[in-house]
Amino acid sequence: EPEVTQTPSHQVTQMGQEVILRCVPISNHLYFYWYRQILGQKVEFLVSFYNNEISEKSEIFDDQFSVERPDGSNFTLKIRSTKLEDSAMYFCASSSRDRDYEQYFGPGTRLTVT
Amino acid sequence: AQSVTQLGSHVSVSEGALVLLRCNYSSSVPPYLFWYVQYPNQGLQLLLKYTSAATLVKGINGFEAEFKKSETSFHLTKPSAHMSDAAEYFCAVNFGNEKLTFGTGTRLTIIP
């Protein structure tokens, strides 16, 4: 069964550094998402992406964040200058939208900012 | 305002007992409703979904949920808990836009 994959599984970075989290969505999906989950808290929506542009973003997704689909298969989330409070699990998801808004989630990348 | 509420951040049940995890929503439009399960150090796995077909939805691992419009609820149940059901369960709602809105989660503990 097709699945969403994410790399790396765990990333440790120093405050102020740039990080790029990578995702490979399911191949025939057209809608892509990033969510995050701070330890012990609920999953929060960050951004959705369709047709090579952001379709919706949350207030969390400020100018420090950006997304890109550089090559037709990968979907990346970049944090330009990480802060301690960016430490979280980041989930990528994708959807075909023809299955009742069902989103398929990747296993997540745990980002630790020190 | 559109919102999702999960009552009970922690639920403990004995092995073999009924599991009931509660989810209520507030919405001005017909929602799409989902339950996801998260095992320790893993991602989110879809248990089941409601998409305006049958109000009683059966999912994986013996779980089911019933959509009750009058009560704006989508509670998750399993007749007989198993040790392997210990996990965090999230109710999520799509209010017809781009994103899923998640509840705060319920940690299910199974007592041997």
The DSSP line for chain B is --EEE-S-SEEEEETTSPEEE--EEE-SSPPEEEEEEE-TT---EEEEEE-SS-SEEE-GGG-EEEEETTTTEEEEEESS--GGG-EEEEEEEE-SSS--EE---EEEEEE-
Phi and psi at residue B98, to the nearest 5°: -80, -25
pLDDT computed for residue A70 by the predictor = 86
pLDDT computed for residue B71 by the predictor = 92
Contact across the interface for A104 and B49, Cβ inside 8 Å = no
Nearest Cα neighbor of B27 from B103, B94, B102 is: B94
Nearest CA-CA distance, residue B16 and chain A, Å = 27
Contact A32, A43 (CB under 8 A): no
- Give the helix/strand (H/E) hosting A70: none
Question: How far is it, in rounded angstroms, from Cα A79 to Cα A82?
Answer: 6
Contact across the interface for B92 and A106, Cβ inside 8 Å = no
Nearest CA-CA distance, residue B80 and chain A, Å = 27
Q: What is the pLDDT of residues A1-58, one digit of tens each?
A: 778 999 999 999 999 999 999 999 999 898 999 999 998 888 999 999 998 999 999 9
pLDDT computed for residue A88 by the predictor = 97
Contact across the interface for A44 and B51, Cβ inside 8 Å = no
Residues of A in contact with B100 (CB under 8 A): 33, 35, 43, 45, 93, 101, 103
Question: How far is it, in rounded angstroms, from Cα A87 to Cα B6?
Answer: 25
Nearest CA-CA distance, residue B68 and chain A, Å = 19
Let me know how long chain A is: 114
Of B98, B102, B103, the CB nearest to A48: B98
Residues of chain B with pLDDT under 70: none
Q: What is the pLDDT of residues A53-64, one digit of tens each?
A: 999 999 999 999
**Tokens describing residue B102:** 């998640």
